[in-house]
Structure formats: structure tokens, C-alpha cells
Amino acid sequence: MKFPPLRYLTPQSLDEAIALLEQHGADAKLLSGGQSLMPMLAFRLASCSILIDLKFVPGLDRITVTDRGVELGSRVRWRDIEHDVRLPTVQPLLSMAVKHIAHYAIRNRGTVGGSLAHGDPASELPALAVACGATIAIAGPNGRRSLPAEEFFLFPLITALEPNEVIVSLHFPPWPKARSFGFQEFSRRRGDFAMAGAIVFFDQDKDQNICSPHIGAFGIADTPLRLGEAEKFLLGNRAGSRIFEEAAAHGVRNVDVRADIHADSDYRRALLATLVNRALVEAAQRTSP
Amino acid sequence: MTSAPITVTINGARKTLNVSSRITLADALRDVARLTGTHVGCEHGVCGACTVIIDGLAVRSCLMLAVQAAGSEITTVEGLANKGEFSALQASFRKHHAVQCGFCTPGILTTMHALLREEPDADEERIRDVLSGNICRCTGYVQIVEAVMEARASYSRGSAA
Amino acid sequence: MTRSNAYIGSPLDRIEDLRLLAGAGTFVGDLKPDNLLYAVILRSPISHGRIRKIGTAAARSLQGVAAVITAAEIGEVPIIPVRQHGKPEGEPYRQPVIAGEKVRYVGEPVAVVIASEQCIAEDAAELIELEIDELPAVATHEIAARDQTLLFENTVTNLATTFYARMGDADMAFATAEYKRKEKFSVHRHTASPMETRGLLAEWNPELQRMVVSGATKVPFFNRNVVAEMLRLQPSQVDLIEVDVGGGFGARGEFYPEDFLIPFAARYVGGNVRWVEDRREHLMAMNHAREMYADLEIACRKDGTLVGVRGRIDIDLGAYVRTNGFTTPRNVVQFVSGPYLIPNIAIDAFSYLTSKTPTGTYRGPGRYEASFFCERLLDMAANDLGIDPAEFRLKNLIPEDQLPRPLATMAGLDRTWQTELDNGAYGVVMERCLKEFGWEEKKKLQGQLIDGRYHGIAVGNFVEGGAGGRFENARMTIEKGGTVTVAVGSTALGQGLQTILSQIAADALSMPIERIRLLHGSTTLVTQGFGSFHSRSTVMGGSAILLAAEALVALLRDKGASHFGCEPDQVSVSDGYVYYGTKSMEFSAFAGSEVERQFENRKLTYSYGSHTAHVAVDPGTGHVELLDYMTVDDVGRIINPATLHGQILGAIVQGLGSTFLEHLQYDENGQLLTGSLADYLLPTATDFPNIRGISLGLRPCPNNPLGAKGAGEGGLIAVGGVIGNAIAAALRSMSVEPRDLPLSPPQIWRLIQQAKASNHNPKMNEQS
């Protein structure tokens, strides 16, 4: 399992990276942490003859926290997220999710941009981006654009990123105080891709009724998604075990669940309902300061 | 095949390696630098046998091109001992019979060395969590965990870091 | 003897670790002689088909390619012989070393590319135009049994062989039984998957007409003779060299197609060729194991006394009968009774060829499967009869005074197929295990729902065969400096053999272990040897060392007597000296003294023991957490308690991997779906942290001078049955009965859903 013949290029700026993409077209792929791309190359499943390493492109490796939310540069590594002391308060779900991503050594190199571009429907970060309504900043030959995460992921391993574009950053909206949140993932072994996962958060009004419920699901369909029916179910209701169970059951009913060698769709759907319910119960007990 | 030289520091020594751009760091270490202690068990980043320490961090050398490592400081299993004396971690592995076939061992030693330098007080749960990225088929992991737990003392004293 | 037993029984640090922990081991992939060429094997992407064309022109013309070898270049394609447990009817189904006309599994070698770099060889392999006319896949044993599609057109059936295990009169026993229950079970396909994939370095010296092959293990002497014959060389022209080996577990070191192809390639190009298997090809090319389907019935008295077991077992052999022949099919029917006294047995086994990777032995071959079937049946019976599962087993274990006791007869086969359990205090060990586990305490949790999870406990027992293979040789030579070189035919697969055998040799010669130099495995070392399989290397190699040491001491006494002018029985030997009264001479004075002895044995050893498990089942996810796993075993005599402990713990986790995680899946077209370690799930450090083992030297084996029994497989054998039973016990309130492995979360969840559905409409057990 040796890599196919490759050229390795190291642009020094974003513009140069985009110019190289323009020049080489489909033969080229961007290399960030390489933790998803390299296995594909080893199996010769990815076809490219030129790797454009972003490591010398400045400004992509920062985590920025402002009152407008959290911005993760595309070359921010899982490790950087784990070690950032601000994130547990300003985006606590990110800190929870990152613990489930692969393993220690992979987290030392895997990056935000790499994960988004790879677009695995069982990955945590794409799911979190969709659940939180995050936006992805993209640079291309015609300048910059910004895309809601929900519109970015199209099919398994297929995204809205054009071949001549580079992911610059991922932006999470602000996280208010007193928000309730939960994260539940089930995989065969620790660090494996999720068989299903649920991300939930909601706020409560002064009457303790749920407002702005967000329920995200991953490892379940062609892309990460939000469970709109479950959200509708919760909206305006008081938190409680019965409403959580019903929301979970309703939420998974119309999801187009995929099957793979690890589990069929019946199991995955039921598993997702279990995890949504557990995440809601968890959320009811866990509120950010 | 066309090769280009890269300069790296391996186990404290500066080296120039001629590598073609498609060669993984693992293969460059083994076949070009002839440091065969780094093993290749799956070549797709799952087994962890090829783990080395680059600029202080444990990484999979099969998921990296050698050219990506240019300019970096690399520690392999061969660099853990000090003047031919086992490090505290290696000695603890021997004492606890944490080795059977020894194929996965180099990657486990480098991973645990990197971990304990950062987190000398890692508890059993943390050690197992990190160790779960390295597959050992022989031992069932119990003796490895025991060996790492005991070696922590020398890291917190700073003598092994 | 002044220092006897200083080393045996001591948890000595391993000699191997000095190099392995330093990263200074030498595995086959580490070998890089000058002018090395690299081999890559093109494998069939089709399960079953007829080869129409292998176009190699483009591959050959790629710069750096030295040769492309197909069946055409080989000429008369050799067929791999069966090493053990062969039968005449299995002969037509043996594997050619390369596919010429037909392919019969995904992964079968079709061509070998030799190039200056491995990546170039891989590039070239992609350029080979392989055209195959597809034939219907024979993806299951049921399809195979129909014989509509034959894998071998020169035969009339896909049924390779049958076995009939018989004891007593099963029909009579069942006709009069007070209780019986019939069940179907299955064990899934999985494999040994050592961390080092296979590899070979073949060095052909055209001037000397000699072949040296490194990377051999397990059975180098057999393999040497096979490859020599296939290459039409004398055995003396071929040497197989053992280097460090990254795990074997029964699968590595058998004679595979590559064991011919790589040496052939080296001679073809007139130089050195290395092949290191990648993980994907490992998962499709190395022996698979275990896939079988059982339809069994148990009978007992109302008081729980077992009276019989009968039924059939269908085995999916894969595409060819490989070197292990029918070891696994034989074992599974022979060992269904395990350590239990079951007076009447009638079990038939049918072994079918399918168009999937061929199978072979994997740690506890046939015994893991048999134990799963037997232990599940025992718990079902115990539950039906209202007897505690531990009591039920204690009642039915073979009492010590009834040992030795033959296992079921393999009907119509000669005595080499038969075996008997040697000795042991089965009940004593089981009671110890229950005590260590805390059975009485934990029993209170049985079936309880605590914090959303159901708790269950179970116990099971195993016997483990050891010391197969007729003989082993050991040679001892006194070197110039007075050290003793000990060479044995046993091979190391990562189990610490060098340390263990050095301990035995040092004690046998009463000398410091530092002055023993132990060599093993390579064909250059001793005249004849067997190797390591069937938990044999410590017992057989160790016993051979004892005999050689005895002979060396006798020789030194004779030589000492003539030097000192006394009688041999006045001379003593220890600590590297030969003594007569106050006079002494160092071993170095006797440099060159050499003896070689052979230990022969026709009787197997049977270590035995008990396993207990405590699980918690999450009905929402189907996840099973292992809260405690405890084994106690008796290995006769312990050489190194620390290496043994490692063997037991490692085996338990392999068994847990087999039971919960590992699964080689195929689709209906015979395509392997689990070709990476992301899909083939090996256990990791967070999966099963709570495992314990205690090993005893309670009843020394009567069949060898060492008193040791083969060990290292027992930790695995009972796992499937014990875990299945613990889950059944946890979910007793829903009448969930796991019958099919692996017990993955979706599988457990499905069983719970099915049980919930049928509990509305309860079905009667077949109970009389």
C-alpha cells in the first residue's frame, strides 16, 4: 500500500495555493493534516498526483473568540481545540465532541479544514457545524464566500467546495449563557466513526419553556443533519423525560437512515432515538454558566 | 524516481535524507535512515505501530510524507534509551512483561513517552484512552498499562522528560 | 545438582526484550540486502471465475520493473501439500501456488511483479490487464451444499470431507432421556491478524545454487522440504531462517502460495527478492478461521446429569484445503464435550468449499467454536431444569479418578486422529475460579436491572490440547569460552520462547542463564525439527533440551573421569564446571563437546481451567460492558509465570475480540467487505480493561519429563460460550438467547427486539 506517484507543493500564501489549484485542476488536492487523505492515497482510492500542503500558508491556524462567536482556522488541529481553555465556556459542545475524534496521535495532526473537506457523514465536526448553524468561510479565485454548514455537505465524502477553493475557517455563532446541551455518540470502539451520534442544545424562556432547540444527528444519513421534527416537538414545551422520549421517537421517524457493514438501518434509527433522548436528558442536567 | 534531499534531526542527530516525494515518513525512517525500530503494521493510520514523536508530538509516520517532516525534530524508539541504558519507561516495560512479539512496542513506547512528558500524572483511564490508538494483538494490554503507570514517577520527577 | 529449579518457575525478565524494547529487533521487513528487488502480488478481485487474459506488457515496460511472473512463467504449477490432518478425499481441493485457469476467492494470487522499489511494483500491478469471466460465487456453505456450482469441475461435490465423532449409544440415550433441547448456533468468520503482516526475503545465489529464505516460522523444516521439492532443489540447497516474528496465533508460518512464489521469483531474477504483505492483502490472503454452523441437541437427567449430545456441524472451509487440512473440523466435533463427562456422543461434521479465503487454524482451533456450542447448551439446560449453572457444571466435570479418559472416537479413522485427556483436578480449579471471581456475591446481581443496564454472570470450562507433532530436537555444544549453545527446532512467534527455553536449559545444566546461548527455529541449527504449533514449543522443545542436557552431563562425566582418572559417577557437573572432589575444570576445557537428542511423544497434554464473566447490557444500544473476567487454569508446571500470565491475558482479549468485535464479512458475490483495520475491529486498550487470570501448576503432566502442559490457547477457548451465557443470564427476564456470534451491539439489540415481540406470544421449549 504505497502511495501513487506524487508531486508535493508548498505555497506560501492563500493566493498562491488557489493559483496552484487553478493550474493543476483535478490532479491536485489540498493537504492539511492528512489524517483522512493519506489513508485514501494508501489504498489508492483517492486519485491525485499533486499534493498542495497548506502548512506555510499564514493565518489559518488560529482560534479566535469574540462576541461574534468562535472562529476556527482551517489548519487548527484537534489538539489545539483540546488545549484551548476558552472553548469549554464559549463553545462547550466543541470541547465535548473533540474527545470522540479518532485517537491521540491522529488528533495531533488532524485539522478542522481537513475534516470539513473530507465530509464524512459519521464525523463529529461536520455534525457539530450543522447542528450549531455554523458557517464555513471559503476562498477561491473570485474571492471569498461563506456557506452555511447545512448547505456544505452534499453526499458522503462530497461537499460544495469547488476544486479551486480553499476552506479558510469555520465560524460558530455566539453561545449564550444558561444554555443546556448534550452530546452522545456510540461507536464500536473508542475513537471509531460513530454508528450514530446526537448533538442537542436549547435555551429556556422565563417560564422554563424550551426555546431555540437544536438537535443534530450524525453517522446516520448521507450527511449530518438536523432533526427538525424533534426540534418542533420540543419548542415551547417544558423539559421533561416524557417530552424528550417523544421528541426522540418523532425526530428519527422520517430520517433516511443508511446501512453499512456495522449496522442495518433499523438498528441505527433506534440507536439514534436512544442517543437523542439521552442527549436531551444530559442537556437538562447540564447548563453552561 | 526523482529524489530530493530533506534535512531532519533524528534522535538528536542532524541528517539529510534523499527521499522521493511519495515516500511516507515511516518508509523514509526505515529504508533511507535505516532505523527499522519504527514498524509498519497497517499503513492506514489505525494500528499505531509506526508512531514517532515529531517536535514533541506523537504522530503516525505512515500518514505523513517524508517531505512534510523537513526541518523537524524526530524521536524514534531508537532514541528513547540514554547511552545504551533503557529509559525508565523501557525498563518498566521489561519489568512488567509488557512485551510479547514486540512488533507494536515501538509505537506504544513513543506514544506513551510523548504522553507522559505532557501529562506525567495521567491516570489509568487516560493512559488507556491514549493507548487505545495503538493495537497490540498479544498482551491484552494489562501489563502495558501497569508498566506505563509505574514509569510515571520518573516523568513527574522530570528525570525521564 | 546444586542449583536445580533456580530458573524454572521464576518470572525472569525476557531476554528478547533487550532488543525489542530498543527497537533493535530484526523482523523480516527490516532486512535489506544489497541489490534488493521488491515483490508485489496481484490478487484476484473476483470470487469465482475463469481467467481469460493476463496482459502484462504494459507492466513489464514500466521503468524499474524486473519481471512479471504468472502461471505461464512458472510452467507446471505446484500444488501446496497438506501438513497435518489430511485425508485422501481432500487431495483434489488443494491450492495451486498461483491461479492459472480459475480463481476461487478474492485475494488469490494471479501475478507477481518484481521491481526496484515496492511503489513501482504497485504501479506496475495496476497496469496488468486482468480479464476474468465470472462464474457464480459460492458465497455460503448452503450454496456449496447444493453442488450446482462446483469450485472444482474435476470433482463431483463441494463437500470436501465428513467426520463422525462417536461415543456410547447416542440414539438410545436420547430415546430414554428425561430432558433434551435442540438448538442452532453459529460462529462467524474471523482471523488471527497478528500485528506484523507476513513477509519473506528470498536470496538466491546462482553460483552456489543455494536459496536462503528469511521470515520463516512455525514449521520451517516442513516448509523447507516443500519449497525445495517445488523448486526441484535438494533440501540441503535451501535454508529457512527465522528472524523476529510479530505474532502468529496459528495462522502465520504455514506454507502459503507466497512461500513458493517469492523464492521462485528470486531464482527467476537471479537475486534477492523481498515481499512484505500489506494489511489489506493480509486480511484476504492469510488463513481465515472459525466459520461454522451447528445444529445440536443435548440430553440429561432431570437432576442435571448429562447423558448425551448429538447433531451436526457444517463448516465453511473457504476455497481450498490448505496445509492444516482438516484440523479444525476434526477438533470441533471431538471437543464438543470439552472437560465434561458426556457418555453418549454422535456428532457429524460436513466441510464445504466456498469461494472465499481458505481457512486454517487460529488459536484454539475448533475448540473455541465447540466450547461456544457446548457451554451455551449447558446453560440452557441448567436454566430449564432450574439448576444453578455452576452447580450444573461441577456435577458434570470429569472426576479426577476417571482420567485419563478418551474423547469421542473419530469413526473410521486411525489412532493418529484419536486422543485422550491426560490428568487434572477439573473441579478443584473451577471452585477456585468461582471463589476468586466472587460467584456467590455476584450471583445476587443475576438478571438485575441497575441504572438502566442488565447484569449477568456466567462460568464455563475448557480443555486445551498441547504438545502435538511427534518430536523435537535439541543440540547442545560447549563453545570455546565455556558457554553452552543450545539449538532447538522450536520456533518463536513472540511468546518469549528464547527466555523460557533458556530457563529450562540453565536449570538442566545447573548453570547461570547468562552462559546459555539459545538458538531456535532455523533449519541450519539442528538436523530435524518440527516447530511451534498446537501449544507445543515449551513442552516439546523443553523436553528435548532436558534429554540433551542429560546426555551432555553424561558426556562430560565420561570425559572428566578420564581426565581426573576416576569413575564417571564420581564426577559432578554444575555452574559451568566439571568437578571431582576438590578438583575442577571449566567447561571451556571441553569446548567442542556436542550432543543432539530428540524427544518423541505421541500423547498430547491437556491443560484445563475455568472462565467466569460479569457483564452489563445496555438495552438501548446493545452495548455489553465487561465488568469482570476471571480465569484460573492448570498448566501442569509453570516455567515462567510472567510470560504465562501474558499469554493468558492476551488470549482472553483475543477471545473477547472474537466474541464481540472481529468479523470478516462477505457479500453475496463473495467480495470481502472488511479489508482494513478500520473495518476489521481488533480489540483496543479501552474495550476490555477488566480481565484477570491465575495460573496454577497443580497436576504435572505425566507424559513428558518436564511435567508441563501446552498453554496459551486456554485463555481464549471458553470466552464465546461464557460471554454468550452471561448475556443470556443478564437478559433472562426477556428470554434472550444469543446463538450467533459475534455479539455486536446491533445483534444484541435485535435479539432484545425479537424477544420483546415473541414474549407476547411465548413459544414452548422442546422439553420432554
Domains of chain C are 31-135+192-285 (3.90.1170.50), 397-405+422-466+604-666+673-761 (3.30.365.10), 468-600 (3.30.365.10)
Q: Evaluate whether B55 touches B25 at the Cβ level (below 8 Å).
A: no
Q: Which residue in this structure is represented by grid cell 519429563?
A: C705
Q: Could B45 and A38 be called an inter-chain contact, meaning their C-beta atoms sit closer than 8 Å?
A: yes
Q: Could B44 and C246 be called an inter-chain contact, meaning their C-beta atoms sit closer than 8 Å?
A: no
Residue of B nearest to C117 (CA): B1
Chain C residue numbers with beta carbons less than 8 Å from the beta carbon of B41 are 195-197, 246, 279
Chain C residue numbers with beta carbons less than 8 Å from the beta carbon of A189 are 661, 681, 683-684, 686-687
Chain C residue numbers with beta carbons less than 8 Å from the beta carbon of B47 are 195, 279, 677
Q: Could A7 and B21 be called an inter-chain contact, meaning their C-beta atoms sit closer than 8 Å?
A: yes
How far apart are alpha carbons C27 and C280 in whole angstroms?
19
Residue of C nearest to B34 (CA): C30
CATH class of B4-77: alpha beta
- Residue A171's pLDDT is 98
Helix, strand, coil share (%) of chain B residues, nearest 5: 40, 20, 45
Q: Is residue C682 within 8 angstroms of chain B, CB to CB?
A: yes
Q: Evaluate whether B17 touches B33 at the Cβ level (below 8 Å).
A: yes
How is chain B split into domains, by residue range? Answer: 4-77, 88-156
Chain A residue numbers with beta carbons less than 8 Å from the beta carbon of C622 are 267, 271
Cell of C398: 470429569
The CATH number of the structural domain formed by B88-156 is 1.10.150.120
Work out the percent of chain C whose per-residue pLDDT is above 90.
92
Q: How far is B151 from chain C (nearest CA, A)?
A: 14
Residue C768 confidence class, pLDDT cut points 50, 70, 90:
very low
Chain A residue numbers with beta carbons less than 8 Å from the beta carbon of B59 are 105, 108-109
* For testing contact with chain A, the best of C116, C119, C274 (most A CBs within 10 A): C119
Residue C532 confidence class, pLDDT cut points 50, 70, 90:
confident
Nearest CB to A190; choose among C661, C676, C686: C686
| Claim: this prediction has a pTM higher than 0.90 | yes
Residue C87 sits at the vertex; the CA angle it makes with C356 and C171, to the nearest 5 degrees, is: 95
* For testing contact with chain B, the best of C17, C62, C122, C195 (most B CBs within 10 A): C195
Q: Give me the long-range contacts of A261-266 (CB less than 8 A, separation at least 24).
A: A261/C665, A261/C673, A261/C674, A261/C679, A262/A188, A262/A195, A262/C744, A262/C746, A263/A195, A263/C744, A263/C745, A263/C746, A264/C746, A266/C750
Write the DSSP symbol of residue A133.
T
Chain C residue numbers with beta carbons less than 8 Å from the beta carbon of A5 are 119, 123
Q: Could B68 and A55 be called an inter-chain contact, meaning their C-beta atoms sit closer than 8 Å?
A: yes
Residue of B nearest to C494 (CA): B101
- Residue C766's pLDDT is 43
Q: How far is A190 from chain C (nearest CA, A)?
A: 7
Chain B residue numbers with beta carbons less than 8 Å from the beta carbon of C494 are 100-103, 138
How far apart are alpha carbons C477 and C487 in whole angstroms?
9
CA C198 to chain centroid: 16
Chain A residue numbers with beta carbons less than 8 Å from the beta carbon of C118 are 2
Nearest to A71 by CA among A13, A132, A156: A132
Is the per-residue pLDDT at C494 higher than 90? Answer: no
| Region C570-584 average pLDDT | 95
Contacts for A89 with CB less than 8 Å, ≥ 6 apart:
A288, A289
Nearest CB to C621; choose among A2, A262, A274: A274
CATH superfamily of A180-283: CO dehydrogenase flavoprotein, C-terminal domain (3.30.390.50)
Q: How far is A190 from chain B (nearest CA, A)?
A: 7
Does ipTM exceed 0.90? yes
Considering only residues A99 and C3, tell me which one the structure prediction assigns the higher pLDDT: A99
Q: Subunits with at least 3 CB pairs below 8 A relative to chain A?
A: B, C
Residue C470 confidence class, pLDDT cut points 50, 70, 90:
confident
How far apart are alpha carbons C39 and C69 in whole angstroms?
10
Q: Could A105 and B111 be called an inter-chain contact, meaning their C-beta atoms sit closer than 8 Å?
A: yes
Chain A residue numbers with beta carbons less than 8 Å from the beta carbon of C126 are 44
Beta C159-167 vs C49-55: how paired, if at all? unpaired
Is the per-residue pLDDT at A215 higher than 70? Answer: yes
For the stretch B42-68, pLDDT in tens is: 999 999 999 999 999 999 999 999 999
> What is the phi/psi pair of residue A278, to 5°?
-65, -35
Nearest to B154 by CA among B96, B107, B89: B89
- Pick the range with the lowest mean pLDDT from A124-133, C46-55, C755-764: C755-764
Is the per-residue pLDDT at C563 higher than 50? Answer: yes
* For testing contact with chain C, the best of A267, A269, A276 (most C CBs within 10 A): A267
Beta A135-140 vs A69-73: how paired, if at all? unpaired
Residue C232 sits at the vertex; the CA angle it makes with C227 and C235, to the nearest 5 degrees, is: 55
Q: Could C676 and B49 be called an inter-chain contact, meaning their C-beta atoms sit closer than 8 Å?
A: no
- Pick the range with the lowest mean pLDDT from A269-283, C137-151, C747-761: C747-761
Is the per-residue pLDDT at C609 higher than 50? Answer: yes
Please identify among residues 108-147 of chain B the ones whose CB lies closer than 8 Å to any CB of chain C: 109, 124, 127-129, 131-145
Cell of B45: 493510520
Q: Could C665 and A261 be called an inter-chain contact, meaning their C-beta atoms sit closer than 8 Å?
A: yes
- Residue C761's pLDDT is 60
| Region C582-601 average pLDDT | 94
Please identify among residues 688-727 of chain C the ones whose CB lies closer than 8 Å to any CB of chain B: 688-689, 691
Chain A residue numbers with beta carbons less than 8 Å from the beta carbon of B1 are 5
Q: How far is B60 from chain A (nearest CA, A)?
A: 6
Q: Could A274 and C126 be called an inter-chain contact, meaning their C-beta atoms sit closer than 8 Å?
A: no
Collapse the DSSP code of C274 into the 3-class scheme (helix H, G, I; strand E, B; otherwise coil) and give the result: strand
Contacts for C281 with CB less than 8 Å, ≥ 6 apart:
C41, C43, C107, C197
| C576 backbone φψ class: left, alpha, beta (φ>0; ψ -120 to 50) | left
Please identify among residues 26-45 of chain A the ones whose CB lies closer than 8 Å to any CB of chain B: 31, 34-35, 38-39, 42-43
- Residue C764's pLDDT is 47
Q: Is residue B111 within 8 angstroms of chain A, CB to CB?
A: yes
Q: Evaluate whether A22 touches A30 at the Cβ level (below 8 Å).
A: no
For the stretch C418-444, pLDDT in tens is: 999 999 999 999 999 999 999 999 999
Q: Could C621 and A1 be called an inter-chain contact, meaning their C-beta atoms sit closer than 8 Å?
A: no
Q: Is residue B75 within 8 angstroms of chain C, CB to CB?
A: no
Please write down the HEC assignment for all residues of A206-243: CCCEEEEEEEEEECCCCCCEECHHHHHHHCCCECCHHH
Query: Which residues sit opposite A183 in a β-bridge?
Result: A199
Q: Is B13 exposed, middle or buried (0-12, 13-18, 19+ CB in 10 A)?
A: exposed
CA distances for C265 relative to A121, C36, C69, C130, angstroms: 45, 12, 7, 20
For the stretch A145-190, pLDDT in tens is: 999 999 999 999 999 999 999 999 999 999 999 999 999 999 999 9
Q: Is C569 exposed, middle or buried (0-12, 13-18, 19+ CB in 10 A)?
A: exposed
Q: Is residue A260 within 8 angstroms of chain C, CB to CB?
A: no
- Residue B160's pLDDT is 63
How far apart are alpha carbons A108 and A71 in whole angstroms?
19
Is the per-residue pLDDT at C466 higher than 70? Answer: yes
Please identify among residues 627-666 of chain C the ones whose CB lies closer than 8 Å to any CB of chain B: 642-643, 645-647, 649-654
Contacts for C432 with CB less than 8 Å, ≥ 6 apart:
C610, C632, C694, C696
CA distances for C720 relative to C45, C155, C193, C337, C740, angstroms: 33, 36, 18, 15, 10
Collapse the DSSP code of A77 into the 3-class scheme (helix H, G, I; strand E, B; otherwise coil) and give the result: strand
How far apart are alpha carbons C20 and B71 in whole angstroms?
29
Residue C538 confidence class, pLDDT cut points 50, 70, 90:
confident
- Residue B159's pLDDT is 64
CA distances for B149 relative to B88, B158, C237, C689, angstroms: 11, 15, 51, 14
Q: Subunits with at least 3 CB pairs below 8 A relative to chain B?
A: A, C
- Pick the range with the lowest mean pLDDT from B78-82, C316-320, C676-680, C758-762: C758-762
How far apart are alpha carbons C196 and C198 in whole angstroms?
6
Residue of A nearest to C682 (CA): A189
| Region C117-134 average pLDDT | 98
Is the per-residue pLDDT at C468 higher than 60? Answer: yes
Is the per-residue pLDDT at B2 higher than 90? Answer: no
- Residue C765's pLDDT is 45
Residue of B nearest to A104 (CA): B130
- Residue C649's pLDDT is 98
* For testing contact with chain C, the best of B138, B141, B146 (most C CBs within 10 A): B138
- Is the domain defined by A63-172 classed in CATH 3.30.720.120? no
Options 3.40.50.720, 3.90.1210.10, 3.30.43.10, 1.10.260.30; CATH for A7-52 is 3.30.43.10
Q: Could A191 and B64 be called an inter-chain contact, meaning their C-beta atoms sit closer than 8 Å?
A: no
- Residue B21's pLDDT is 95
How is chain A split into domains, by residue range? Answer: 7-52, 63-172, 180-283
Cell of B130: 491514549
